[in-house]
Amino acid sequence: MSKAPSFVRSAWRKLALTALAAVLTVVGFAGPAAAQGKASGTYLTEAFNRVTNNAALAANLNGYGYIDGTSIMAAWINVGGKSTFNMQLDAGVEYVFLGAGDLDAQDVDLVIRDAGNNIVAEDKRVAADAVVVYKPQVTARYTMELILFKARNNVPCVCAAVILKKGGWNLTLRNLDEAVGNLVGTLKRADDELKTKLNKRLDLHREKGQWAMFGAVLPKGQTTDVYNLSFGNGMKAFFATGDSRAIDVDLFLMNNDGTQVLKEDVRTDRDASFVHQPGAGLHRLRIRNYDSNGPAVVMMGVFDIVE
DSSP character string of 181-237? HHHHHHHHHHHHHHHHHHS-EEEE---TT---EEEEEE-TT-EEEEEEEE--SS-EE
Residue 59: the pLDDT is 66
- Segment 164-172 mean pLDDT: 90
Separation of alpha carbons 287 and 215, rounded Å: 9
Residue 39: the pLDDT is 66
Res. 172: pLDDT tops 90: no
Separation of alpha carbons 18 and 12, rounded Å: 10
* pTM confidence score: 0.85
Query: Residue 54 is which amino acid?
Result: N
Residue 52: the pLDDT is 83
- In 3D, which of 85, 155, 165, 167 has the Cα closest to residue 133? 165
Q: Is the same domain home to 126 and 186?
A: no
Res. 55: pLDDT tops 90: no
Separation of alpha carbons 213 and 162, rounded Å: 12
Q: Is the same domain home to 65 and 142?
A: yes
Q: Is the same domain home to 243 and 121?
A: no
Q: Are the C-beta atoms of residues 96 and 54 closer than 8 Å to each other?
A: no
Query: Residue 232 is which amino acid?
Result: G
Which of 128, 146, 166 marks a domain boundary? 166
Give the domain CATH number at 209.
Answer: 2.60.120.380
Percent of the chain topping pLDDT 70? 86
Res. 27: pLDDT tops 60: no
Residue 11: the pLDDT is 38
Q: Is the same domain home to 93 and 160?
A: yes
Domain that holds residue 64: 41-166
Separation of alpha carbons 303 and 35, rounded Å: 10
Cα separations in angstroms, 4 against 8, 11, 14, 176, 198: 6, 11, 15, 49, 20
Domain membership flag for residue 11: no
Query: Residue 25 is which amino acid?
Result: T
Give the helix/strand (H/E) hosting 37: none
Q: Is the same domain home to 187 and 297?
A: yes
Res. 10: pLDDT tops 60: no
Separation of alpha carbons 49 and 307, rounded Å: 29
Q: Read off the pLDDT of residues 190-248 as tens digits, 9 standing for 90 and up.
A: 888 888 888 888 899 998 889 999 999 999 999 999 999 999 888 899 999 999 999 99
Q: Is the same domain home to 49 and 162?
A: yes
Res. 168: pLDDT tops 90: yes
- In 3D, which of 251, 280, 241, 237 has the Cα closest to residue 17? 237
Q: Are the C-beta atoms of residues 60 and 164 closer than 8 Å to each other?
A: no
3-state secondary structure at position 148: strand
- Segment 22-41 mean pLDDT: 44
Cα separations in angstroms, 53 against 45, 175, 307: 12, 13, 34
Q: Read off the pLDDT of residues 95-134 as tens digits, 9 standing for 90 and up.
A: 999 999 999 999 999 999 999 999 999 999 999 999 999 9
Tell me 35's DSSP state: B
- Please state, rounded to an integer, the average pLDDT across all residues of the chain: 86
